[in-house]
Amino acid sequence: MRWRAATVAVLAFTSIGLPAAHAAPPQPEAAAANRVFMVSDSVGLGAKGAMPRAFPAGWEVTVTGKPALFVENMVSQYVQYQPLSAFGDNAIVAGGYNYPYWDPGRFDRSIDLMVDTLLAKGVKRVFWVTVREVSPAFYSGWNGLSSNYKLLYSTYPQLNNQLRNATLRHPELSLIDGASMADRTGITYDAIHLNNEGAAAYSALAASTVTRAPTREPAGTITEFTVAGVAGVPADATAVSLNLTSLLPRTSGYFTAYPCGGTLPTVSNLNFRASQTVASAAIVPIGVDGKVCVFQSTDSHLLVDLNGAFGLDSGFIPLTPGRALDTRSAGITAANVVREVDLSLIPGAPDGAFTAVVNFTLLGGGASGPAWLYTCGGTQPGYPSRNIAAGKVQNVMMVVNTDANGKVCVKLSQSAHFLVDLFGAFPPESDIHPITAQRLVDTRYVGGMIGAGTVRGLQVSGVGNVPATPMPQGAVLTLTLMNSQLAGWATVYACTPTLPNTSVINVEPNHEQSNAVVMNLNPTGAVCIYSATTTHATLDVSGWAGTAFLPLTPTRLVDTRFG
C-alpha cells in the first residue's frame, strides 16, 4: 500500500517536461521580486503551461518537478542542485499528493526541509498549494474512482491542516488555498489531475496569491479610519454597521474592531484560517476623532465596508467588548442541551432586559449541524443562528433580546465549543426590534439557484413580524450561500440601480457560508441579492429598526490591497 500511495499521481502527465517544438525568444531577466520558482508533483505540473500566463507581464515563472515524488524527493532532485541564479524572491511548492499517510510526522519533516532549503537559496517568500479536499459524500459517488484515490482523499484534510500548522513554524511560508476552489467537478480528468479548466483556475489562484502577498498588512497592525462625517455618517453618530473581510491571511487568526482611543478588546469579530477569504458583520462604537480601529493578529489584507450608522438618539450603549462565555474553559456543551449565557456580567451592560449586540462563535468538532442563540424563556427559532461546521471556526453577529435577567440561551445540535462576546447594547425603548428569525427565501425550494451575475429581489417589510407601516429604516439580515458552483462573493443591497462596490459574503465551491448585515431597505421595503457565482441561498430576517438606524449607501472604506 505504501508503494501504491507513492505512485498514485504518476497515472497522468507522462509527457510533462518535454521541450516545446520551437524555443521561445529570450526575454529580459525579471527582477528578483518578480521571479517565481515552482516545484511540483504531477498535479501542479498539469498547470505548467498555464502558470506563466496567469502572472502579469514582466513576471518570470519557472516550473519544474516530476510525477509521483514525495516532498523530500522533490527537494533532493529538483531544488538542492539548482544554482542560486534559478531563484528569485518567490517560490511555489505544489507537493503532497503523494502523502505518507502512515507517517504524518514524515510530512512535517519534509515541509521543514523544503522551506529551509528554499530559504537557503535566497527565496524570501514560500507559497505552498493546499491539496484538493473533496467531501466524502461527493467523491463516494464517483464509481470510477479507485480505492487508492479514496484512501488518499480521506487523508488530505489532515495534510492541509499540517500545512496550516507549518505557517506557525515558518514566518516566510504562506498557503495558496487550492482546496478552496477544488471541491467540484469539471477541473480534472481523473479526479486528481487538472484538465485545461482546472489548470487555468489553479494558476489564476496562485498568481493572485503570490502577487498580493507582499502588500499584506503585517501581524499586529492596527488600521484606523475615520467614519464620523464620512459617506453620510453624522458627525455625532455613536456607532456604525460594518462588514469586515479577511483576504489572504498568512496564518489562522482574527480581526477585532473597536473605537479608536479605547483599550484593545480581548475578543474578536472575525476568525479565519490561513489563506481564507471570509467576512463578518460588526456594530462598532465610534472612538476618538470619529475613528474606528481594526486589529489583526496575522499578516492579511483587510476590507471594511460601511452599511449604516446609529445616531446620538439611537440609544446605543457603547461597551468595552467582553467575553460572556467561553466553553473551552467552562466545559464543552453537549448536543441538545440549553445553556444560559449571562450578558449582564459584562461591565457596563444595562440592568434587566436589553437588546444585545453579540458575536456568536462556534468551534466545530467532529460533526456539523445547526446552532441557536435566542432569548432565554422564549421559543427556539425555527431557523438556526449559525451552522456548526466540523473542524472549522464559524461566527455570526447577532442583535438579540435578553430575558429580564440579561441572559440569552444557546442550544447546539452537535457537541461543540462556543463563544459569546458582547459588543454593545440598546435599552428596551430603543427603536430597534429583534424578532424570531424568519426565512424570506430558500432557493433550494423556491426560485432555483441565483445565477452568476444576476439579482434576486425579496420583500422584507410586511413579511411576518416585520411591519409594513411605519416602513422600517433597516433590517437585520443573515445571508447563507450553499452549493456554490465556483468560489465567489455576494452582496445584499437596497435594489438601487447601481450595484454597490461592497460585499457581504465570500464562499468556496460546495461549502456553506453565512454572514449577517444590518442595512437599509428600498422605498417599497425590499432588498436585492446579487451573486457573482451561481449558488443556492437563504435569507433570514431577525430584526428591524426604525429611527435608531440611519440607512446609508453601502461604501467601501478600507481595502489594503490598494493602500
Q: Do 303 and 425 fall within a single domain?
A: no
Alpha-carbon distance of 532 to 46, in angstroms, equals 27
Cis peptide before 509, with omega less than 30 degrees from 0?
A: no
Percent helix, strand and coil across the chain, each to the nearest 5: 20, 35, 45
Q: How many angstroms separate the Cα of 487 from the Cα of each of 58, 316, 535?
A: 27, 37, 10
Q: Do 439 and 514 fall within a single domain?
A: yes
Domain boundary among 371, 395, 429: 429
Contact between 550 and 309 under an 8 Å Cβ cutoff? The reply is yes
**Residue 329: how many other CB atoms lie within 10 Å:** 8
Q: Would you list the DSSP string of 339-380?
A: EEEEGGGSTTPPSSS-EEEEEEEEE--S--EEEEEEETTSPP
Inter-axis angle of helices 104-120 and 71-78, nearest 10? 30
Q: Do 206 and 111 fall within a single domain?
A: yes
Alpha-carbon distance of 491 to 129, in angstroms, equals 29
Alpha-carbon distance of 125 to 172, in angstroms, equals 5
Handedness of CA 69, 70, 74, 77 (dihedral sign): negative
- Assigned C-alpha cell, 322: 467582553
Alpha-carbon distance of 100 to 425, in angstroms, equals 52
Q: What is the CATH number of the domain that holds 154?
A: 3.40.50.1110
Helices (H), 66-171: 71-78, 104-120, 136-139, 147-169
Contact between 174 and 250 under an 8 Å Cβ cutoff? The reply is yes
Q: What is the CATH number of the domain that holds 468?
A: 2.60.120
Q: Do 220 and 191 fall within a single domain?
A: no
Contact between 237 and 309 under an 8 Å Cβ cutoff? The reply is yes
Domain that holds residue 515: 433-546
Q: How many domains does the chain have?
A: 4
Domain boundary among 156, 183, 215: 215
Q: Do 335 and 477 fall within a single domain?
A: no
Q: Do 145 and 257 fall within a single domain?
A: no
Q: Do 424 and 448 fall within a single domain?
A: no
pLDDT at 455: 97
* Kind and range of the H or E run holding 51: helix 50-54
Domain boundary among 429, 459, 483: 429
Instruction: Write out residues in the chain with pLDDT < 70, as ranges.
Output: 1-29, 135-152
In one letter, which amino acid is 496? Answer: T
pLDDT at 6: 33
Q: Do 311 and 388 fall within a single domain?
A: no
Q: Do 473 and 512 fall within a single domain?
A: yes
Q: Do 131 and 193 fall within a single domain?
A: yes
Cis peptide before 470, with omega less than 30 degrees from 0?
A: yes
Q: By three-state DSSP, how is residue 418 classified?
A: strand
Alpha-carbon distance of 345 to 323, in angstroms, equals 9
Using the structure block, give the residue that is written with the C-alpha cell 450553499: 482
Q: Do 31 and 177 fall within a single domain?
A: yes
Q: Do 41 and 185 fall within a single domain?
A: yes
**Residue 192: how many other CB atoms lie within 10 Å:** 24
